[in-house]
Structure 1
């Protein structure tokens, strides 16, 4: 399919150049540094050093164990949850179906901080049980990480399986039952194969997020060595020195995700089942004790998932004495200090996220239009490159950007520019996927009609296509804003003095034991996340959290 050079061919080339310079080039520098010695010659010494380092080998296996453990737990929580919502009617079902999606907008740093306030060494429940002579096991280590990550990431499994179940043709299940097969065997032979691709695809997303997780691993990991934490610590200790070791660690992290992605792709390709959209089974109404059981079970999961939102606001208004939270005593001291005396993290977050959102959404709209409406060989390459950051953890991306732009003709390290760049590159794939959704439903005949009336293709894009994309534009902007303003893993690597954002401030305050001030920043962060979501729903009537 050929495309005219002007304007779409030119714009495609511009997008490729920008992505090549800000995505591919930093990754190339990272891979290059991993195989170079101090003299600039080829060497695999960095990888050999990793293999000889017992702590690193342990961190490697711990990361895999954590990834598979959390992924398994999210499947065990998300699949039954989705099945209950799709197949049964019970009290408060509509609310129950939507609330899990809210867990996605809760920053991970706040999740970790809140659970420490509840179950940490000086947590509410820890002290409450201790007063009654019951010693709770430490929340640090494997327990805290698996528990908190499961509650953060099960939503991905839930949404994927829920979509698959709602698209399932119920007549297939009825046919199996009519042949005398038991309900359990029918579900295993008919329903499970259809759900499996959705489970595998979203399980990969969960595994990738766990492997690259920094916030929860750093706060709750304690003495459990993990790749993300060790890579960050190596980067900090090697600042100004040889980048080989940190680069080698980053390459290994990318390799883990790439291998899992390859295996998952091969498995999913063999398990794909196509079916004509049919009638989904009518939900079965449950009554009496079953209703209470269903509502109670999903309610416990949702309450645990959303507890960080509740805790962070309570803690923000709680009086503190140094590192001690005086629960039940109320004070505005922490909020006053955060907002009046140390507002720089709040102002920095608002500034960097705003710029990244505007730049990211504008670029995402252009890329999505080119890849959907003006497809050719170049736009296919563009489509592949733009989703590449999805496979890279924030820590690795931050290291790549710092190594690339700390010298030469374009120096961004130590400036606000690298913060905005890290935000935009890290979250661009999400904005592109969101902007793409509407373009499939815009018929080309509308554009052709505009062009036939003498309007140029470029002006047609601005006057016809963009207005039709209003809902997805706002949705993409909200998604970009929410994910950039809560970004920690990349920003904690690239930031320097004076560039501290709210997630970084929370991380540093928690690390220093100042949980009151951390909660104040956390409350401010949640507020600036939820306000635009509320405005988009109430003012623009955009259903960001549709469960259908």
Structure 2
């Protein structure tokens, strides 16, 4: 393929160099450190140590069990939910169809904190039932993790299956019924094979997210050993020492995700069905008792998944005395301590996320334009590298960045630069995919017409392409902002004193039992997340939560 070196070929090489240095190089350092001993020689001693460590093996098994358990629960919740929304009409359906998408913007640290406020040892419902003489089982451990992660991740299954159902040609079902097949058998033979790839693909996404989950695992895991938590604890305890063990743990975590992605590529994609867009079956209106049952069923799921947004604000205004929440007594004390006494986490979060969003969206705009509109020999490699952080958990990425930029000519560890770098690298794939969405629909002829009229390629980009991408760039910026400002797993690894952000502050306050102050920081975090979303919807008229 012929390369137009100026300017697009040069920009492609510059982008490749930047991504190689800040993505591939840290991963290479991480893998290299996992196979060296203290003397610098080649050794697999770290992996051998892990293989003999019963606690680590237990953490490995627990992580897989948690991944499969949560994935199964999200399928059990998401598939029926999507089927009801796609095939039936019931009261408040339009609202019900959109609300699950909004749960994506709720930070996991807020979810964990809120459920502790409700069902923790001093939780609202825990105390309520205790006064009635009923002792609820502990929310810590498997119960809390599976429950909270299911409510966080079922949306991925819901969205995937809903899209598959809305793209399904109802004539196929009608043909099966016309041949005398029962409705149940028809659905099993016709509908299920079409839905299955969407279920499997999104289930694998959920599984990888659970394996790499840090916030909920750390807050609710209690004494359940898990890979993400053990990797973090090993990193914290070994700072300044040999990085071999923490690197080996990180490599194993990456290997789990790589195996899952390989399974998706080799097995799931073979079951994909190509279908010409047809007429989806018209939703059936359900009445009386059935309508009530449908509304209650989906309403309970929605209520449980949206409850953290309400509880975090209730907790912020609740009077506290040390670790004790005085439910029903209201106070501004926690908010005053957070906003006036210790505002640094709020300021740091806004500062780091703003810089990361600006840098990430700018770079995402360049990369998406190069990979879609200016393809050459190197753009395919660029496209692969830019999505690589999706396969790496935040904890692993943070460890790789610290190990790489802790020494040498570019020392970022201990500075705000490594915080911004961790934010940008971790969330860049989301911005690239969002920025790319519009470019596919912009005909090349428009750009060529502008150039033929004497406008330079650069000016054509700014005068023609950029205005057409306005909506997708705003969406990419909001997505980048929401995901960076709520980032915990990578930032808790790379931060040092004075660089604490709101998610880190919440994590530390919850760990110390100060749920009131944690709620105050949580309320501030939710507020700065929702503000740009409201602006995008009301001012720019961008429908971020369309269910279509």
**TM-score over 0.5 for the pair:** yes
Q: Distance in 2 between matches of 1:464 and 1:264?
A: 38
Offset at residue 306 of structure 1 (A): 0.6
What residue is the counterpart of 1:324 in the other structure?
A: 324
SS at match of 2:320: strand
What residue is the counterpart of 1:268 in the other structure?
A: 268
Contact 1:413 1:494 in 2 (8 A): yes
What residue is the counterpart of 1:407 in the other structure?
A: 407
What residue is the counterpart of 2:439 in the other structure?
A: 439
Q: Residues 201-228 of structure 1, C-alpha deviation per residue, up to 9 Å, x if partnerless?
A: 1111111110000000000000000000
What residue is the counterpart of 2:94 in the other structure?
A: 94
What residue is the counterpart of 1:111 in the other structure?
A: 111
Contact 1:234 1:246 in 2 (8 A): yes
Offset at residue 266 of structure 1 (A): 1.5
What residue is the counterpart of 2:312 in the other structure?
A: 312
What residue is the counterpart of 2:539 in the other structure?
A: 539
Q: Distance in 2 between matches of 1:273 and 1:179?
A: 22
Match runs of 1:282-361 below 5 Å: 282-361=282-361
Q: Distance in 2 between matches of 1:377 and 1:119?
A: 55
What residue is the counterpart of 1:224 in the other structure?
A: 224
Offset at residue 268 of structure 1 (A): 1.5
SS at match of 1:377: coil
SS at match of 1:329: strand
SS at match of 2:327: strand
**Is 1:521–2:521 an aligned residue pair?**
yes
What residue is the counterpart of 1:389 in the other structure?
A: 389
What residue is the counterpart of 2:234 in the other structure?
A: 234
**Is 1:69–2:69 an aligned residue pair?**
yes
What residue is the counterpart of 1:170 in the other structure?
A: 170
Offset at residue 377 of structure 1 (A): 2.5
Match runs of 1:47-66 below 5 Å: 47-66=47-66
What residue is the counterpart of 1:84 in the other structure?
A: 84
Of the structure 1 ranges 129-138 and 217-226, higher mean CA displacement relative to structure 2 is found in 129-138
Q: Distance in 2 between matches of 1:120 and 1:476?
A: 36
Q: Distance in 2 between matches of 1:423 and 1:398?
A: 10
TM-score by length of 2: 0.99
Contact 1:26 1:404 in 2 (8 A): yes
Q: How much is the aligned-residue C-alpha RMSD, in angstroms?
A: 0.6
Offset at residue 3 of structure 1 (A): 3.1
Number of equivalent positions: 548
What residue is the counterpart of 1:147 in the other structure?
A: 147
- Specify every segment of 5 or more residues in structure 1 that has no aligned partner in the other structure, as ranges: none
SS at match of 1:236: helix
Q: Residues 227-278 of structure 1, C-alpha deviation per residue, up to 9 Å, x if partnerless?
A: 0000000000000000000000000000001011111222212211101111
**Is 1:251–2:251 an aligned residue pair?**
yes
Contact 1:486 1:503 in 2 (8 A): yes
Offset at residue 2 of structure 1 (A): 2.3
Offset at residue 131 of structure 1 (A): 1.2
Q: Distance in 2 between matches of 1:55 and 1:458?
A: 57
Q: Residues 461-492 of structure 1, C-alpha deviation per residue, up to 9 Å, x if partnerless?
A: 11110100000000000000000000000000
Contact 1:3 1:374 in 2 (8 A): no
Offset at residue 376 of structure 1 (A): 2.3
Offset at residue 196 of structure 1 (A): 1.1
Offset at residue 183 of structure 1 (A): 0.8
Q: Distance in 2 between matches of 1:79 and 1:420?
A: 38
What residue is the counterpart of 1:421 in the other structure?
A: 421
Offset at residue 31 of structure 1 (A): 0.1
- Specify every segment of 5 or more residues in structure 2 that has no aligned partner in the other structure, as ranges: none
Q: Residues 374-411 of structure 1, C-alpha deviation per residue, up to 9 Å, x if partnerless?
A: 12231111111111000000000000000000010000
Q: Distance in 1 between matches of 2:72 and 2:375?
A: 38
What residue is the counterpart of 1:204 in the other structure?
A: 204
Q: Distance in 2 between matches of 1:180 and 1:379?
A: 53
The structure 1 segments of at least 4 consecutive aligned residues displaced by more than 2 Å after TM superposition are none
Q: Distance in 2 between matches of 1:331 and 1:128?
A: 20
What residue is the counterpart of 2:191 in the other structure?
A: 191
Q: Distance in 2 between matches of 1:461 and 1:198?
A: 36
Offset at residue 459 of structure 1 (A): 1.5
Q: Distance in 1 between matches of 2:2 and 2:170?
A: 43
What residue is the counterpart of 1:125 in the other structure?
A: 125
Q: Distance in 2 between matches of 1:410 and 1:342?
A: 31
Q: Residues 127-179 of structure 1, C-alpha deviation per residue, up to 9 Å, x if partnerless?
A: 11111111111100000000000000000000011111111111111111111
SS at match of 1:320: strand
Q: Distance in 1 between matches of 2:239 and 2:520?
A: 31
**Is 1:36–2:36 an aligned residue pair?**
yes
Contact 1:111 1:148 in 2 (8 A): yes
Offset at residue 85 of structure 1 (A): 0.3
Q: Distance in 1 between matches of 2:123 and 2:339?
A: 25
Q: Distance in 2 between matches of 1:267 and 1:88?
A: 32
Q: Distance in 1 between matches of 2:489 and 2:429?
A: 17
Match runs of 1:471-510 below 5 Å: 471-510=471-510
